[in-house]
Amino acid sequence: RMVMLPAGLVLGKAILNAVQNRGAQHTAVKLAARSSALIVGEERVRRVEKRWMMGGGGALTSRVNPYEKTEIRNRLGGTSVRMLHKQAEREAADLKEALEKERWLPIYRFEGIRLGVLLARAKLVQTIASLLYLPYSTFGLLTGTTDEGTFMVTLALAVAAPLLLAVFSRYLNRLVGVISMNESNEYVRIGYLTFWGSRRNVHVEVADIIPISENSSEKDQIVKLQWYSSGNDFLFLSTRNCQIVDEERAHILFGDLNVFHTYKSL
């Protein structure tokens, strides 16, 4: 019995030490788990705050990518810029088709537009012919079949023709030949001269036309015809040798008709 007593004490001490060690390990495990949970919680809070700042205060429980198509469309009002552009083109095409079916009543005609067509086409033909003839004249000068005087004349024409074409095009192009208005007096159809000597039509709202008095004086023979939505683009309108077919509608469009000095009323 005396021998077993110290052995029991030693065994009991070993058991107590083991229990204490297990308690320390359990406590350490709990502390580690709690620290890990706190770290994960702080990380989640940072993610939520980041999504809140990037998403503009949206739902905190969902992950939002601000660069997704849906998010970009939502910030643009539910659609994309491309869709808006296509919609605008479609509406413009529908309006153009509807205006083509309108009945147009002429209110202004320029009598000299036929001469302008002939000049535009003649200058274009002359420029092309001069440029095409220059290589032939050069070959003739090199072979001796063309003298130097003829070659210099051809060269001068080839150089001057494009310059004259540019000068003529500045005034002949965009020269208005006829203006018509629909029956409801809401739109006008303006026919003007193009670079190739043909006619092109443009439809403009009457309310969008800038009054002629703002761009010219009564002494001007050619005035600028502009509209607010055209920016810096404009057309040329002759105030002489023209016909005012419908004075009532011309007053609606132009306002004061005194700018047209020698117009003929029909």
pLDDT at residue 35 is higher than 80: no
**Residues 235, 109 share a domain:** yes
**Residues 226, 107 share a domain:** yes
**Residues 146, 183 share a domain:** no
pLDDT at residue 137 is higher than 70: yes
CA atoms within 13 A on the CB side of 205: 7
57 is a domain residue: no
Query: Is 52 in contact with 60 (CB distance < 8 Å)?
Result: yes
Q: How many domains does the chain have?
A: 3
- pLDDT interval class at 209 (50, 70, 90): very high
**Residues 95, 82 share a domain:** yes
Residue 9 contacts by C-beta under 8 Å, 6 or more apart in sequence?
none
**Residues 91, 204 share a domain:** no
Residue 254's nearest CA partner among 203, 216, 221, 200 is 216
Mean pLDDT of the 204-215 span: 86
Last residue within a domain, chosen from 142, 172, 202: 172
Question: Regarding predicted confidence, which is higher, 233 or 92?
Answer: 233
42 is a domain residue: no
Give the domain range for residue 130: 114-172
**Residues 258, 167 share a domain:** no
> String of b and e for 154-190 (b: at least 16 CB within 10 Å)?
beebbeebeeebeebbeebbbbbbbbbbbeeeebbbb
pLDDT at residue 41 is higher than 80: no
Go through the chain and tell me how many residues it has: 266
236 is a domain residue: yes
**Residues 205, 140 share a domain:** no
Residue 147 contacts by C-beta under 8 Å, 6 or more apart in sequence?
141
| pLDDT at residue 38 in the model | 52
pLDDT at residue 65 is higher than 50: yes
| pLDDT at residue 177 in the model | 94
Query: Is 235 in contact with 176 (CB distance < 8 Å)?
Result: yes
Work out the burial of residue 242: count CB atoms within 10 Å of its CB; fewer than 13 is exposed, 13-18 middle, 19 or more buried.
Answer: buried
92 is a domain residue: yes
| pLDDT at residue 1 in the model | 46
91 is a domain residue: yes
> For 143-185, how does the pLDDT look when each residue is reduced to its tens digit (9 = 90+)?
888 888 888 988 888 888 888 888 877 778 889 999 999 999 9
| pLDDT at residue 232 in the model | 82
Cα-flanking dihedrals φ and ψ of residue 191, to 5°?
Answer: -100, 125
Tell me the percentage of the chain whose pLDDT exceeds 90: 18
**Residues 253, 208 share a domain:** yes
| pLDDT at residue 167 in the model | 80
